[in-house]
Structure 1
Amino acid sequence: MPYPAKLNPEQILDAAQTLLETSGPDGLSMRTLADALSVRPSSLYRHHASRETLLVALGDRAAGALQEALLRATADRTARAGAEAASHAYLDYARQHPHLYALLLTKGEEQSPAGLAGTAGKRLWSALLEVVGQLSGNLDDTDHAVALWTFLHGFAALERSGMFGASGPRGGLKVGLTALLDAMESAHATRKPSS
């Protein structure tokens, strides 16, 4: 195989993402990735020390993509419509990219608070917190953000596993999402203005 003079991190991640999305996590190894790129596996280790660091990079890419989807969904919408659109964008991402979505839920090594603040996962969390804060009136509304995240992730996981059965979730998504968004709006209505 020729020396990969022009192999760059984006090419590697693009090929790794394609392998992950088409073959699942078991289909992505340094060897299969090297084969897809027509390079020797040792060439990849110049960019990623291991498969695990490659998966972390893919997870960061997934977090960035989901963050962008949430931001696009909320653009030019009221707080309520934005929160609803962002919720649907979240579920759409989980449906369309199940293996990348799964990487978002893999806990990496512990990082310092300063290191964590710059991660793609933290930026994704901040975007979700902003969506919720716009509706609840509390820009640091961790409680409602966790509730929404838990609901959306639970729905995505149940849907992916087929646990809803042949009849599907019916109106369950709408009922749950409406209840959560109503609670957020209610919190905004009862918040006392800062003095």
Structure 2
Amino acid sequence: MPYPAKLTPDAIAAQARVLLEGGGPDALNMRPLAEALGASPSSLYRHYGDRAALLTALNDDAARELRATLEAAARGLDPQAGLLAMARAYHAYARAHPHLYALLLDPARPYTAAPGPMKDLWNTVLGQVSAVTGQPDDTGATVAVWAFLHGHTLLFLGGQFGPSGDQGGFRRGLEALVRGLLAS
């Protein structure tokens, strides 16, 4: 196999993302990744110690990307409208990138409160929810919002609403949730 052009962590992660998004986590293995990059599998280990390290890098990239998406959705809006826009952007991101979304919330990858992209993502949602409720660091309300978003998103991605869709349930649930946040 010819020596590939400069192999970088970013190039490896970009190709890994292509494999992940194209076929889910089962499609992301070091040998097919190396083949797609025109490299030997052992050359990948210079940059990522193992598949788990590569998945962690993809998880971090997805968390940064989702955070930026949510921030852009809420930019310039009042807190309530911003939260509704963030929720729609969250759902749209998961629909557009279902395998990355699944990686973000994979129960096999337990969340830690350590600083990093996942904590930054949480803090973005926490800040927006707290702006709506007027309560600094309103963790309880943020958990409620995130649980609704994640639950609806998983039902949607799993096809649980059937051919008729959710019949506006996402919008109605979100609006009811925001009203409840304002009332508490």
Question: What amino acid is aligned across from residue 95 of structure 1 in structure 2?
Answer: R
> Is residue 96 of structure 1 aligned with residue 89 of structure 2?
no
The 5 A counterparts of 1:21-36 are 21-36=21-36
Q: How does 1:116-195 map to 2 (within 5 A)?
A: 116-117=114-115, 119-187=116-184
Partner Cα separation in structure 1 for residue 105 and residue 118 of structure 2: 10
TM-superposed CA distance for 1:131, in Å, is 1.1
Q: Give the deviation of 1:93 after TM superposition.
A: 0.6
Percentage of identical aligned residues: 47
Task: Give the structure 2 partner of residue 40 of structure 1.
Answer: 40
Name the CA distance, whole Å, in 2 between partners of 1:176 and 1:56. Answer: 32
Q: Which amino acid aligns with 1:160?
A: L
Question: How many angstroms does 1:110 deviate by?
Answer: 7.7
Q: Is the 8 A contact 1:132 1:144 kept in 2?
A: yes
Per the TM alignment, residue 25 of structure 1 is displaced from its structure 2 partner at its CA by 1.2
1:108 aligns with 2:121: no
Equivalent position of 1:51 in the other structure: 51
1:77 aligned to 2:68? no
Runs of 4 or more consecutive aligned structure 1 residues displaced over 4 Å after TM superposition = none
Whole-angstrom CA distance in 2 between matches of 1:8 and 1:20? 18
Distance 2:11 2:61 in 1: 13
2:43 aligned counterpart, secondary structure? helix
**Deviation of residue 109 (structure 1)?**
6.3
TM-score, structure 2 as length reference: 0.95
TM-score (norm 1): 0.89
Structure 2: stretches of 5+ with no match in the other structure:
none
Distance in 1 (CA, whole Å) between partners of 2:58 and 2:111 is: 18
Give me the whole-angstrom Cα distance separating, in 1, the residues matched to 2:134 and 2:11. 42
Residues 70, 90 of structure 1: 8 Å contact kept: yes
Which string of whole-angstrom CA distances, capped at 9 and with x for unpartnered residues, describes residues 100-156 of structure 1?
Answer: 001111253686x6xx12x11100000010110111112301111111100011111
Aligned residues: 183
> What letter matches 1:168 in structure 2?
G
Could you list the runs of 5+ residues in structure 1 that have no partner in the other structure? 188-195
How far the C-alpha of 1:38 sits from its partner, in A, is 0.3
* Distance in 2 between residues matched to 1:130 and 1:19, nearest whole Å: 34
C-alpha distance in 2 between matches for 1:18 and 1:139: 39
**Deviation (angstroms), 1:3:** 2.8
Q: 1:30 to 1:133 in 2, by over 3 A?
A: same
Asked if the contact 1:4/1:43 (under 8 Å) is kept, the reply is no
Letter in 2 for 1:60: D
Per-residue CA deviations over 1:37-87 (Å, capped at 9, x if unaligned) read 000000000111111111111011110100001100110001111000000
